[in-house]
A and B are shown apart, each in its own frame.
Chain A
């Protein structure tokens, strides 16, 4: 079992709809949770991070964390074609390395 699991997709969502990306992790000691966006041929760029159970909103993005279920998700509201990318979930235990999932490829259909 991989430490961080994501559905690889592709996930297709109509423009203007809500895109929902999910991630589960195996290490109960994980303390910090990050979502990165990666365009093809580019490096990962940070979108959001969350540490506490519940929701965290930033513009069109909402991160949700449920530590009891070891589950973290990212919602993208009013999806735009520019949101088409691979979304990487990453978790950190302590102040050490980030462990990444394989990423979910998201396509927004105009």
Chain B
């Protein structure tokens, strides 16, 4: 497809379960970002990849959050032992590796932890 693809679109998890969220970026985009967006807030940065290298993971809220992009294309964000405060929309975005390159967002995964 032409855009950033995320799956699943919605995920309901019971507290304590592990979840995995997938992102397929735009072909040719070197940079890939994960953001977390709570209701009524702007997106908050989680982590950033350049190809397969994770260059910045300063936004990951705890060691329960883990992201990978092993072949430099598809990325997975994994949340272990989910908590209610993890409930949010998780947005993936990709871009070219240039300062003037905007981020293109996927439709997001809405995670609800019950």
The count of residues in chain A whose C-beta lies closer than 8 Å to any C-beta of chain B is 25
Most B-side CB within 10 Å, residue of A43, A88, A99, A103? A43
The count of residues in chain B whose C-beta lies closer than 8 Å to any C-beta of chain A is 27
Most A-side CB within 10 Å, residue of B33, B42, B56, B105? B42
Q: Knowing A43-B107, A101-B42 touch, does A49 contact B31 (C-beta < 8 A)? A: no
Number of A-B contacts (CB under 8 A): 56
Query: Does A88 lie within 8 Å of B42, measured CB to CB?
Result: yes
| A29–chain B nearest beta-carbon distance, Å | 11
- For residue A56, CB closer than 8 A to chain B, the reply is no
| Stretch from B12-20, B64-72, B74-82, B96-104 at the A interface | B96-104
Residues of chain A lying within 8 A (CB to CB) of residue B41: 102-103
Query: Does A44 lie within 8 Å of B102, measured CB to CB?
Result: no
Query: Does A44 lie within 8 Å of B100, measured CB to CB?
Result: no
- For residue A98, CB closer than 8 A to chain B, the reply is yes
Question: Which residue on chain A has the smallest CB distance to residue B48?
Answer: A97
- For residue B25, CB closer than 8 A to chain A, the reply is no
Residues of chain A lying within 8 A (CB to CB) of residue B59: 97
Q: Knowing A43-B108, A45-B105 touch, does A100 contact B42 (C-beta < 8 A)? A: yes
- For residue A58, CB closer than 8 A to chain B, the reply is no
Q: B104 touches which one: A32, A46, A90, A100 (CB < 8 A)?
A: A46
- For residue A71, CB closer than 8 A to chain B, the reply is no
Query: Does A94 lie within 8 Å of B43, measured CB to CB?
Result: no
